[in-house]
Every structure is written in C-alpha cells, then in structure tokens.
Structure 1
Amino acid sequence: MIDLRIDRPFFVDSFFIISLDFELHWGRFDKTDLHSNLSYYHQTRNSIPQVLELFQQYGIHATWATVGSLMAANVEEWKAYWPELKPAYHKQRFSAYAWFEEQKQIREEALFAPDLVKLILDYPHQELGSHTFSHYYTCEAGQCHASFQADLKAAQQIAKDKFGLELKSLVFPRNQMDKHSIRTAAAMGFQTVRTNPSDWYWKNTQEENLLKKLFRTGDTLVALGKKTSYPLPKRQGIEVLGLPASRLLRPFRSNSFFNQRRITRIKEEMEEAAKSGLAYHLWWHPHNFGNLPDENLKCLEEILVHFSKMRDNYGMQSIHMGESCKGLNC
C-alpha cells in the first residue's frame, strides 16, 4: 500500500516507476542462437533473486512484464496454451511458433521459468504484467487485430491458471505499438501500457536504422531529446493509461568509458523529476544482467541508493505501473 499523503508541505508528488521486460530467449529467438547463450540465461536466472533482494531492501515497487510463454513449466504445457489464431507475419522469422518448429533441440531452462515468476510474486510490491504471450510484434507486416487479441487472451489465461491473476499492465515487445494495438489491449482488460518517448528516434520502432540507434545511444550520455520526466497522466476519459518510458538502463560494458556517465545521467534525471513533482520511468530486461551480473547489480544499487535520497529529500515515491492508476488518479 503506497502512502499518497506527504506530511511535509514543501514536498510535491513525484514518482519513480520501474518496469522490466522479462522474456529470456523468447525476446531474442529471432536475433541470436539459443544454445550459444545458455550461460547467459543461467546468469540471468541467478541475478533475478538478487534484483528482488535489492528491490526489497530499498522499498522498490516494480512491474515485471513477462512473456506468457515463460510462465509454462515445459513444452507440453506451453503448447496447451497456444492460441488457435497465430500471427501470420510476412517474415516468419518473427514467429515464436515458426522458430520452435525449426529447432532440433530445445533447452527449457532458457524458455520457461514459472519458479521465477512465483518468486517475483512472493516479494512485496511486485506486479506481474504482460509482455504478450509469444513476444508478439504488433506493427510487423502480416499480423492482424484478431491474432493479437488471441495472443493477449492466451497471456491472460496462463496467468490466471498458474498464478490466479488478471494482468493489468502491458509492455509491447520491441516497443512496437499503434492506436489499434492499444485499443486491443484495453479490450483485453489492460489498464496501463508503457509507451515510447515522444522523440523522433523512438517512433516506429519496427523501422530501425543507424541514425535512430546513434541518437538513442547518444542520448544516454547527453541530452539530445526532450525532457525525460513528465506529470503522471490521468486515465480519466480514456480506456488505457499510457506511461512513457524515460530511460533504458543499458547493461554495463567492460572496457567502456561511458558506464558511469550513463548512471550519472539517470541520477540527474531522477533528481530533476523529484524536485519538479514529475514521474520518471526506468526500464530494462532482466537478461541485460546476464553478462557481468555483479557489475550490473552494482549499477542498479547505485541508482536505488539515489532513489532513497530522492525519497528522503523530496518525497519521491516508488510505484509500479499498476499503481500509477490504482488509487492514484483513476
């Protein structure tokens, strides 16, 4: 339960939102080989309990936007939740089902993690959200409204059957979204979605190019885009609440001169939000900690220590995506 009343009169409401795209290999099957990444996923799985411990230590509320397929215990259970209508992408390499049919050997530890989902739910203030059932790409050619609706229905069903939950928060894979997919999400019971920053290099993420990537990378070091914090939006009069992302927590890189600068920039942006009574939305993938987990956990803790200072000095509150609607402004 979050305390929405600030006793000290000079405090203004400001919010620190965290969302994580929990996907393991479901988020990477079209980009990289499964078997060459088993150690990466093993370290990812080991880092998640440590992230949860840090969240508990610093009083962090977070949304774990989880691929529905990952909630299954094994291939057989996963297949039992397959939607009848699957995405008919023009490029079948984007289909999790087409990818699976081509595999000669499956390593379930890189695909299924209901034990970790249960662990997440055992910790206080953690919200189970959705990252669709099959890591669905809503803006790829060939997909349609009906197949996306079927995918979200499968995601809701496995969450209900396995964990007794109705999912309320949604993060779109690869940050692909449009007004039609957002309407579909609302029709399937979702109340909050993470949206993209309004900068041009975050628009139409299905159409990637080098210039967009350069600007997104450069903006982690110096301000190239618009202000990253914003007034917490209100859901009144709309079907679903859109919560823009502020910053991607990029993974620690060995031999990079920019690791500390990226963390410092996040802290500066958080402080600006805290002083101004605004919301700041940080996100990343748990698998980003699969390489150099100790260094990445240290970076995360530095950010959480800074949040503690923002909470003590300015009254900043940690909320997950669902709490941005529930009891706050809806």
Structure 2
Amino acid sequence: VARLRQTPHQEIATHTLSHLTCLEPGPGAEDFRADLAAALDLHQDRLGTRPTSIVFPRNQVAHLGVCAELGLTAFRGPAAGRLYAPRPENRERRARRALRLVDAYLPLGAPTTWEPRPQRPADLPVDIPASRLFRPPLSPLGRLDPLRLRRIEQEMERAAMRGHIFHLWWHPHNLGPDPDRGLADIARVLDRFRRLSERHGMVSLTMAEAAARLRAAPVPASAVGVAP
C-alpha cells in the first residue's frame, strides 16, 4: 500500500468496509451510509487520506447520493448490456454467467468502449463503467486462450482509434491460479497499451483522474483505466 501511495497516477479507492452488497435483501441506505463512513474514516486513520472513488461489491451500484454526501466523486458502473446488469445473487443464473465467460473470448455483449461525455447530473459521482474483466486462463479452454487476450487488445485498439475510454479491471485473486502466467499476460496488455500510446496518444487514468476530466469536459485523448 505504501508503494502504491508513492507511485504517481495510482489510486487507492474504497470497496466498503464489510463488502456490503447493496442489492441483496436487508441493508438499506442508512446501513450503507454507516458502513461507507466507517470505511472512509478507517482509510483516513490508517493512510492519512480519504478515498474519492468506490468500486461497489459485485458491482451492485446504489445510493449514489450517499456517496456524494460522503465526498466520493467516481464509481465503477457495470459494463453496458443486459449480460452485465447487476442483480441480486438469488436472481443470477448460470446461463448468464456462462455467457459472460464466452463474451471474454468472443463478442457477445454490447460494445465495451465508450465515448467520454460530461456527467449528468453533475452533483453525483461520475460513472466510469467497467469494460472488461481480466480473466485468468482456463485449462478446459486452453486452445481458445489466444482469443481472450486478442479480445482485450482489439477493444483497447478500438478505444485508441475512436478516442474512447476502455476500463480494464481485475481482482488480485484472478491471477492466483498461475501468477507467473497472469503477470506475463498483463505485461503483454501493457505493452500493447504502450504502443497505442505512442501511435494514438492513449493515456492511462485512475478513476479519480477520469472523473475530474469528465466533470470539466470530455476527455480529449483516448484512455484506458486499470482498476484492480
């Protein structure tokens, strides 16, 4: 964490204190407020700063007014399309999970890059929607694995060519099955980003940086956001 804080253009956001899932039965707006306030206070006590961005557990976005009241300015919204629309766990279906897995290899869902646009309403946190979950390679799909990375690279190129935003994200445990392979794959993605930066001016932004630009005006250059 200390190294992250010392590294330029890196951000430590919040994920709530208790991994509170806002669309599940039980917790309401005041529960969320208490949890988030405690998370932000702990962050302040331990690190000396307060987060300005939030990644909702399971991407169950809710209570944005509460987020704004507590000083948050950006959140990661769900990817576009019905495949990625958040819903309670008891309404999630295996078929939809399977389709999301296929979408990591073949284009089934909606376009994953999006055009920078001013936030409306302006008093709420800015939505920096997810584009693609960086999934680990799966042994049963070994022969298809080149499609997984190619899909990400093609989406990045689309963003760079069109001046769009592409938001790549993952959990640390997504690299767990084979860390060396996972890091090698990430290095390949970063190398593609470097080339797109040189050719098309693509830039890397944290969620807070992207939100600040979107509040002021549309992002002038193509951008890729990486939010583990």
Same fold (TM over 0.5): yes
Equivalent runs, 1:2-151 vs 2, <5 Å: 117-151=1-35
1:202 is aligned, of 76, 84, 88, to 84
Does 2:67 align with 1:153? no
Q: TM-score, normalised by structure 2?
A: 0.88
The whole-number CA distance in structure 1 between the counterparts of 2:139 and 2:6 is 33
Q: Determine the structure 1 residue equivalent to 2:224.
A: none
The whole-number CA distance in structure 2 between the counterparts of 1:209 and 1:122 is 42
2:97 is aligned, of 186, 210, 213, to 213
Q: Determine the structure 2 residue equivalent to 1:308.
A: 194
The whole-number CA distance in structure 2 between the counterparts of 1:159 and 1:298 is 32
The one-letter amino acid paired with 1:119 is R
1:246 is aligned, of 131, 134, 143, to 131
Structure-2 change in CA distance of 1:280 and 1:327 (3 Å): closer
Aligned residues: 212
Q: TM-score, normalised by structure 1?
A: 0.62
Does 2:78 align with 1:193? no
User: After TM superposition, which residue ranges in structure 1, 4 or more long, deviate above 6 angstroms?
Assistant: none
Deviation at 1:236, TM superposition (A): 5.7
The whole-number CA distance in structure 2 between the counterparts of 1:146 and 1:236 is 24
**1:8-65 CA distances to partner (integer Å, 9 max, x unpaired)?**
xxxxxxxxxxxxxxxxxxxxxxxxxxxxxxxxxxxxxxxxxxxxxxxxxxxxxxxxxx
Secondary structure of the 2:11 match is strand
Q: Which runs of 5+ in 2 are unaligned?
A: 217-228
Q: Does the 8 Å contact 1:235/1:241 carry over to 2? A: yes
The whole-number CA distance in structure 2 between the counterparts of 1:196 and 1:231 is 15
Q: Determine the structure 2 residue equivalent to 1:260.
A: 146
Q: Does the 8 Å contact 2:21/2:58 carry over to 1? A: yes
Deviation at 1:204, TM superposition (A): 2.9
Greater CA drift, 236-245 or 224-233: 236-245
- State the structure with more CA Rg: 1
Deviation at 1:250, TM superposition (A): 0.2
Q: Does the 8 Å contact 1:121/1:128 carry over to 2? A: yes
Structure-2 change in CA distance of 1:204 and 1:329 (3 Å): closer
Q: Determine the structure 1 residue equivalent to 2:156.
A: 270
The whole-number CA distance in structure 2 between the counterparts of 1:236 and 1:216 is 29
Deviation at 1:164, TM superposition (A): 1.0
Deviation at 1:122, TM superposition (A): 2.3
